[in-house]
């Protein structure tokens, strides 16, 4: 046998250790896609004294259990302690699975059960000790989120969102608990959901959104609970959109009908890769309706928008602070019309619907990194285009003269320096260099510095006051395109 020296053996062991470390890292990174439960991948947090008491009471009733945790939402613990029956004391809700060694002994009997995931309800006895009072099989295999709402009734309901392992299905379970008994009022299949508050004086509603039919039309069903505790649809189902691939964002907002503010819902959705659209649903007093059934001259307005490396994804929002929702659409900037879409720069146009007319709120350019939005003055629309310099993260706005090329009339240049990409010394260099190149500091926070420079050009140049009003910078810590006006020197 060929001998191995100590030095060579050490080298082999080091390589083997490095390989094992890589394999462990790959295993951890790929774990979620391998079909494991989140509870198997994460170490359970240490229980508080009260949670330990609840856990001991649960295991005394159900035997060995494996705790399960919601993936999203305000309630991320396997234990939820809350007063849900109107009595003076709190109840405890625990999400768990039977321990795998015991699961086969007591298979779920309820026809709504999907796996071994369960919900246990616990209350305190006359001595102040926790005891299990009721158990329900879950309607899914993974807990997505947990919420509570009265849904128009006098008593609070537990609303649990589930997913099903190996399926894209999502299920909402609405549960009522009183007198020590938990009752599932119903289950609802959905793609996205939200709560509607302030629609009328009857309280909060549950709005569920889904896709149906070969054309993938969207639909919204709104639910509430009657005085006797029955779950029912509160308004007629409303259909909207076409070719919906995925719901992106649902916003409860305000719109204008007959010049009066009314509740509305904007539904931003994906139609194809890098293509989005928006449906606007109005509340009419006894039902919801789509914009198409109310706004009579909307046939020539499209809320469609596309994204590429130069045009970021944006969603419906109130961009000017007037309390009315604005809906985005994209339009090609002058000079880019004959280029392929991946090469185009686009303006983002913002609209609001005012009863029988759709009004243009703003014509804007949004920085590819969502760091700022520039609102074009009226005299710029159709006259000014832009070019991007990726090497120094700057955007220059030019007078468009029939062809796409830079000229001497650079009306405005905006430069962004991201601090997390530059050490402090480099930031100082950038500041010095920017000043030398004619830039002035417009805005600075812990994440970024925004500079701008402009020239005087008859009719099209912007004054400092106009730049101050037009350039809206994203606040630090906010990753979404929620923008505000003004500098912060």
In a domain, 483, yes or no: yes
pLDDT band for position 432 (50/70/90)? low
In a domain, 439, yes or no: yes
- Give the Cα separation of 118 and 138 in Å (integer): 5
| Tokens found for residue 350 | 């913002």
In a domain, 80, yes or no: no
Q: What does the pLDDT read at residue 300?
A: 60
User: Could you tell me if residue 361 is left (phi over 0), alpha (psi between -120 and 50 degrees) or otherwise beta?
Assistant: alpha
The one-character DSSP state at 33 is G
In a domain, 178, yes or no: no
Q: What does the pLDDT read at residue 469?
A: 94
Helix or strand run (H / E) with residue 308: none
What is the rounded average pLDDT of the residues 148-157? Answer: 93
Residue that the structure tokens 């912060």 belong to: 488
Residue 102's SS3 state is helix
In a domain, 467, yes or no: yes
Q: What does the pLDDT read at residue 138?
A: 95
Q: Among 2-6, 104-108, 233-237, 326-330, which stretch is predicted with the lowest mean pLDDT?
A: 2-6
pLDDT tens digits for range 290-342: 876 554 444 466 788 999 999 999 999 999 889 999 999 999 999 999 999 99
pLDDT band for position 131 (50/70/90)? very high
What is the rounded average pLDDT of the residues 430-450? Answer: 83
Better-predicted residue by pLDDT, 284 or 156: 156
| Tokens found for residue 306 | 């596309």
Better-predicted residue by pLDDT, 83 or 355: 83
**Please, is 14 exposed, middle or buried when counting C-beta atoms within 10 Å of its C-beta (0-12, 13-18, 19+)?**
exposed
Q: What does the pLDDT read at residue 169?
A: 80
Q: Can you spell out the DSSP letters for 179-192?
A: TTEEEEEEEEE-SE
Residue that the structure tokens 């009471």 belong to: 57
Count of domains forming the chain: 1
Whole-angstrom CA distances from 94 to 235, 289, 352 are 33, 40, 45
Q: What does the pLDDT read at residue 408?
A: 60
User: By percentage, how much of the chain surpasses pLDDT 90?
Assistant: 58
Give the number of residues written for the chain.
489
Rounded to the nearest 5°, which phi and psi values hold at 112? -95, -5
Better-predicted residue by pLDDT, 24 or 348: 348
In a domain, 385, yes or no: yes
Other beta carbons within 10 angstroms of residue 260's beta carbon come to 9
- Give the Cα separation of 39 and 467 in Å (integer): 52
pLDDT tens digits for range 235-276: 999 999 889 999 999 999 988 877 778 889 999 999 999 999
Q: What is the largest CA-CA distance in the chain?
A: 94
pLDDT tens digits for range 444-474: 999 999 999 998 776 899 999 999 999 999 9
Domain that holds residue 394: 367-489
| Residue 19 clears pLDDT 80, i.e. is over it | no
pLDDT tens digits for range 52-85: 999 999 999 999 999 999 999 999 999 999 999 9
In a domain, 47, yes or no: no
- Give the Cα separation of 407 and 459 in Å (integer): 17
Q: What does the pLDDT read at residue 129?
A: 95
pLDDT tens digits for range 169-205: 899 999 999 999 999 999 999 999 999 988 888 889 9
| Residue 417 clears pLDDT 60, i.e. is over it | yes
Say if strands 65-67 and 91-98 run parallel, antiparallel, or are unpaired. antiparallel
pLDDT band for position 41 (50/70/90)? very low
Q: What is the pTM for the complete model shown?
A: 0.80
In a domain, 177, yes or no: no
Mean pLDDT taken over the chain:
82
Is residue 373 within 8 A of residue 383, CB to CB? The reply is no
Q: What does the pLDDT read at residue 370?
A: 92
Give whichever of 212-216, 345-349, 446-450 has the largest mean pLDDT.
Answer: 345-349
Q: What does the pLDDT read at residue 363?
A: 97
| Tokens found for residue 272 | 């194809």
């Amino acid at each position: 046998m060929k001998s191995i020296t100590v030095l060579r053996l050490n080298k082999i062991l080091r390589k083997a250790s490095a390989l094992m470390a890589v394999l462990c890292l790959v295993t951890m990174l790929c774990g979620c896609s391998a079909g494991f439960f989140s509870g198997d991948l994460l170490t359970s947090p240490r229980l508080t004294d009260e949670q330990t008491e609840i856990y001991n009471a649960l295991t005394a009733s159900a035997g060995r259990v494996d705790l399960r945790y919601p993936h999203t939402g305000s309630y991320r613990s396997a234990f939820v302690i809350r007063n849900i029956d109107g009595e003076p004391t709190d109840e405890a809700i625990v999400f768990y699975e039977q321990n795998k060694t015991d699961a086969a002994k007591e298979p779920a009997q309820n026809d709504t059960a999907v796996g071994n995931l369960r919900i246990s309800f616990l209350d305190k006895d006359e001595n102040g000790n926790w005891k299990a009072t009721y158990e329900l099989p879950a309607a899914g295999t993974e807990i997505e989120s947990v919420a509570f709402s009265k849904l128009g009734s006098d008593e609070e309901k537990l609303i649990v969102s589930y997913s099903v392992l190996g399926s894209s299905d999502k299920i909402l379970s609405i549960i009522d608990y009183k007198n020590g008994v938990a009752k599932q009022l119903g289950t609802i299949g959905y793609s996205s959901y939200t709560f509607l508050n302030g629609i009328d004086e009857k309280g909060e509603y549950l709005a569920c959104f889904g896709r149906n039919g070969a054309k993938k039309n969207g639909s919204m069903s709104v639910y509430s609970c009657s005085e006797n505790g029955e779950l029912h649809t509160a308004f007629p189902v409303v259909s909207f959109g076409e070719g919906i691939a995925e719901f992106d964002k649902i916003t409860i907002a305000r719109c204008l009908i007959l010049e009066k503010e009314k509740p509305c819902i904007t539904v931003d959705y994906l139609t194809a890769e890098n293509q989005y659209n928006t449906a606007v649903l109005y509340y009419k007093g006894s039902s919801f309706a789509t914009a198409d059934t109310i706004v009579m001259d909307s046939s020539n307005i499209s809320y469609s928008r596309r994204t590429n490396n130069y045009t970021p994804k944006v969603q419906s929002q109130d961009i000017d602070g007037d309390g009315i929702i604005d809906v985005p659409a994209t339009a090609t900037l002058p000079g880019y019309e004959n280029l392929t879409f991946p090469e185009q720069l686009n303006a983002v146009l913002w609209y609001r619907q005012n009863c029988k007319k759709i009004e243009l709120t703003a014509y804007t350019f949004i920085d590819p990194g969502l760091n700022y939005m520039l609102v074009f003055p009226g005299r710029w629309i159709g006259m000014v285009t832009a070019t991007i310099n990726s090497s120094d993260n700057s955007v220059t706005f030019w007078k468009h003269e029939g062809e796409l090329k830079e000229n001497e009339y650079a009306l405005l240049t905006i430069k962004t320096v991201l601090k997390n990409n530059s050490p402090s010394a480099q930031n100082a260099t950038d500041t010095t260099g920017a000043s030398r190149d004619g830039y002035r500091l417009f805005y600075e926070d812990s994440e970024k510095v925004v500079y701008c420079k402009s020239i005087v050009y008859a009719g099209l140049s912007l004054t400092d006051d106009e730049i101050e009003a037009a350039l809206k910078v994203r606040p630090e810590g906010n990753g979404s395109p929620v923008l505000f006006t003004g500098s912060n020197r």
